[in-house]
Amino acid sequence: MTLPLAKFRMLDISRQMPGPFCSALLADMGMDVLSIAAPSDPLGAGLPLIMRNKRSMKLDLKSEAGRAIFHRLVETADVVLEGARPGVTKRLGVDYETLRTKNPRLVYCSITGYGPDGPFVGRVGHDANYLAYAGVLNHIGNGGEAPVIPDVQFADCGGGGLMGAVGILTALLARAETGRGQFVDAAMLDGSLAFTAYPLLLKHTLGREPERGYGQPTGHYPCYAVYETADARHLTLANYEPHFWATLCRHFGREEFIPWQWDESRRGEMFAFFRARFREKTLAEWTRELEPLEICYAPVDTFDEVLVNPQLVHRGMIVEIATPLGPMKTFGPPIKLSDTPASIRSGAPAFGAHTDAVLAELGFDAAAIAALRESRVI
């Protein structure tokens, strides 16, 4: 079976998380992704778990010979993906304006923190900074306490990587109509702001900034909160709809709580009850008791539990791949297609594993490849 993106070739010169995550999503769908990094920069090869389905090549783009090789690769590529600070690719001679002259059909995606223009263009940043500027961080944490930085890179993967993938696919569709490539601008700040649709709506409807930790889906109310169990584990309730809340209250024999769901004056009383009750049993005991009910419940799982979760296993979301560090379990393709499903066809390659093969495809013989390696171009 031919995967839907199998006819497209990408040169990925991004590094760290956002770009390699973006290219991993596309590689799962069949895109031929060649990850390119300097010989002295193994970090540029990306994290092992998001290097599956890719090829890896060492190439020094700071050298004239390295740039010449890259330009030759661009001639037959469909996509170039980069994640450098604005101005870096221009200095290297691998920016969109340069490469489009060699391949007018090229789709060129740049994932940056703040975008290639504007007053923040020269700023450095990381995930927490983009979430902070976008207003996301201001809504994570408990009321009266400092914002909490999540230990998951939402701006990198969602604001940058996911938005970049959507942009690349859209540009490829447009190219099918126009015959021309284009520049795809995916800024992590922009993408992070797009995640604030609900709290931003609350600001407009309330006429003020929603207070961190005091909204309905924040843990401020007993129906939608995290509780500790007898074995110092935690579970979540998210019974936003009244009928789910009513079912929970009836299960615990406290039907009087049903009309008090959002009652601020009764909040403390209800919390005291549920916190005390949930500390009476272990997480496993509560899971057996609550899972059969028609309520929104879930245990707070560790990765050991996540990786054997029967729903995730059934959905093909837990896969084991080979990596240079040994076999590792990771996430499977998160987007499901009925006729041409994504797949994990290869594990993470060793850094630069495909360098010689790629150069051979360009016509370099063994002696020329050895000379490039001797001069540290590869």
Residues forming the active site: 126, 156
- What is the b/e burial string over 76-91, where b = at least 16 CB atoms within 10 angstroms of the residue's CB? ebbbbbbbbebeebee
CB count, 10 Å around CB of 24? Answer: 28
Residue 215 to residues 16, 224, 240, 261, Cα–Cα distance (Å): 34, 10, 12, 13
Residue among 181, 200, 173, 164 at smallest CA distance from 76:
181
User: What is the rounded distance in angstroms from the CA atom of residue 46 to the CA atom of residue 54?
Assistant: 10
Contacts with 220 (C-beta within 8 Å, 6 or more apart), sequence order: 143, 213, 214, 267
Residue 40 to residues 62, 90, 168, 378, Cα–Cα distance (Å): 12, 21, 29, 9
Are 225 and 219 spatial neighbours (Cβ–Cβ below 8 Å)? yes
Q: What is the CA radius of gyration of the chain?
A: 25
Residue among 133, 136, 135, 138 at smallest CA distance from 120:
133
Residue 366 tokens, joined: 């063994």
The identity of residue 293, as a single letter, is L
User: What is the rounded distance in angstroms from the CA atom of residue 106 to the CA atom of residue 99?
Assistant: 8
